[in-house]
Amino acid sequence: ELRFMCTFLFKPWWMTQRMGSYGKDVPFETQFLIVEAADGSNGGGETESGADQCRVYVVFLPLLEGSFRAVLHWKV
């Protein structure tokens, strides 16, 4: 389970955002995806007080050039 936020085309000319925790929640025609990843560099992700020490985010962008276009889509 990884939290994410994405933007996707729900009409050919209009985008909106969606948030979720599972790959199956990533919609077709996703144009931008940012995932909150687990950071193991601090030995578990929490300090002694229990607060998050560091958050790592990964961004996925599809390729496009000229008439070539790609989108992100999770297939289960």
pLDDT tens per residue across span 10-31: 998 899 999 999 888 888 888 8
Q: What is the pTM of this model?
A: 0.68
Contact 18, 10 (CB under 8 A): no
- Position 48 confidence tier, pLDDT thresholds 50, 70, 90: low
Non-local (6+) Cβ contacts of 48 within 8 A are none
Residue predicted with more confidence, 19 or 71: 19
What residues does each domain of the chain span?
4-69
- Position 75 confidence tier, pLDDT thresholds 50, 70, 90: low
pLDDT at residue 76, as a whole number = 58
